[in-house]
Structure 1
């Protein structure tokens, strides 16, 4: 076992050093391994899957800038913890899925943004909102570090996966819950299944029915896709039970089957959703 691990580590170090002429210190690769070992989110990955995940996380660390704001220092452990979570959704998609952004920004706490929007009558509104994550079209990913740090638990909440899902959604334009699909996937099948499930979920929220899925998913189709994506990677058995058609489509899109590798999480063990005026995603 020791010899196999050492050989695999040597191959990864050699590969990372050759990538684009850049070099990653072996200590950083060791930190990636250490962080991965402590993440419940990554339980059950095969040796090949773990290898792909580490390679992609290394790619992201080399290609993307991770910046701390408000005088927050960002160390290697933080960078690796963020990169591994960013890499998981794209583990079988590759770096092309991450091509429309260059920077991740970390705040030391939830942050305040001022949003402007127009209602159905054409009236302009403006208000402040406290967020734990935000994705910008062709722009940076923004996170609250405490929430990134706590996201690898299997509790159905993962701000990193949520915002990465938005970025995947925005590969062909502003987020709308309809990301560009792979060859062989049918757009009409995707649209029908997601639109039907979204309308049904909105009806349950409107009637005050509480369940395991964050009611924030009813905000719009883009949030529905992002919230289901984080649930897909953390509590996949519940997604497969209550949204079987969407689970099948997410398997095709992410080219992963988390329910085949992760333990079941009891519904009553999940944290309750936040109040309507609580902190949210962007």
Structure 2
């Protein structure tokens, strides 16, 4: 049995081998901004996550140790200062080699139901599994992060359908959250519509993935990707929303990125 297999067979966490953890951090530049103490806490949280969750490969994929740790480290970053209990209501992670097909149903204004297949890189089921494309999971680091995206959906689902309003902490102002999210979403939707009118190149130049224009819930997940990977973009484009995300996640990725950059420059 491999290390991950042995680990998943027990509820008590087992240490991630240091070379594997170092390799994982080296592949994810936004983790390198974390101070040493926070990085150690992320490792411990990832170990507890691996002990609590079940990984399944799909379409012939075998999930090995490196894959499991790679996903766990990214998925646990949003809850670094929240706790593993935020992921308590689900267990399984299904990993496909690449994008996969999801059957969809949609009702048009006349009440006719249309069935179609949609190609997806990730999917989160309310109370059920989280599904990822391994190929896309490796694309992290440039503002696109399917792992953080789907884990953000899981947080959003704790209090109902994913609508961009996860359960806020005591002391957070719901009206301030809604105003920041809705204001940013409306502005982003208008920007995407203008870019679509100009063509594909204009869409690619947007600072945030245009998929966020699909729905406020998708916008929250997409902005969460950028918040952790390219915090300077969110802080510059939507400072009020950045402030709310920092309160919710109890993290300030921009400050730690700047601190890490300053440390390296000395």
Bin for the TM-score computed over the shorter chain: 0.7 to 0.9
Q: Indicate the residue corresponding to 1:222 in structure 2.
A: 217
Q: 1:43-192 to 2 correspondence within 5 Å?
A: 43-151=32-140, 153=141, 155-192=142-179
| Counterparts of 1:64 and 1:120, CA distance in 2 | 41
Q: Which of these residues, 256, 263, 267, is aligned with residue 251 of structure 2?
A: 256
Contact between 2:13 and 2:48, CA under 8 Å: does it hold in 1? no
Unaligned runs of 5+ in 2: 1-6, 196-201, 260-266
After the TM superposition, which of the residue ranges 202-211 and 172-181 deviates more from structure 2? 202-211
After superposition, the Cα gap between the structure-2 partners of 1:179 and 1:136, relative to the gap in structure 1 and judged at 3 Å, is same
Q: Which of these residues, 9, 27, 38, is aligned with residue 38 of structure 1?
A: 27
Name the TM-score, length of structure 2 as normaliser.
0.86
Q: Indicate the residue corresponding to 2:240 in structure 1.
A: 245
- CA drift of 1:261 comes to 2.0
Q: 1:187-226 to 2 correspondence within 5 Å?
A: 187-208=174-195, 210=203, 211-226=206-221
| Counterparts of 1:120 and 1:244, CA distance in 2 | 37
SS of 1:49's equivalent in the other structure is helix
Structure 1 stretches (4+) deviating beyond 6 angstroms? none
Contact between 2:16 and 2:47, CA under 8 Å: does it hold in 1? no
After the TM superposition, which of the residue ranges 188-197 and 84-93 deviates more from structure 2? 188-197
Aligned pair count reads 243
| Counterparts of 2:95 and 2:53, CA distance in 1 | 13
- CA drift of 1:70 comes to 1.6
- CA drift of 1:77 comes to 0.9
User: How large is the Cα RMSD of the aligned pairs?
Assistant: 1.9
Greater share of residues in helix: 2
Unaligned runs of 5+ in 1: 1-16, 265-282
After superposition, the Cα gap between the structure-2 partners of 1:121 and 1:221, relative to the gap in structure 1 and judged at 3 Å, is farther
Name the TM-score, length of structure 1 as normaliser.
0.81
| Counterparts of 1:194 and 1:23, CA distance in 2 | 37
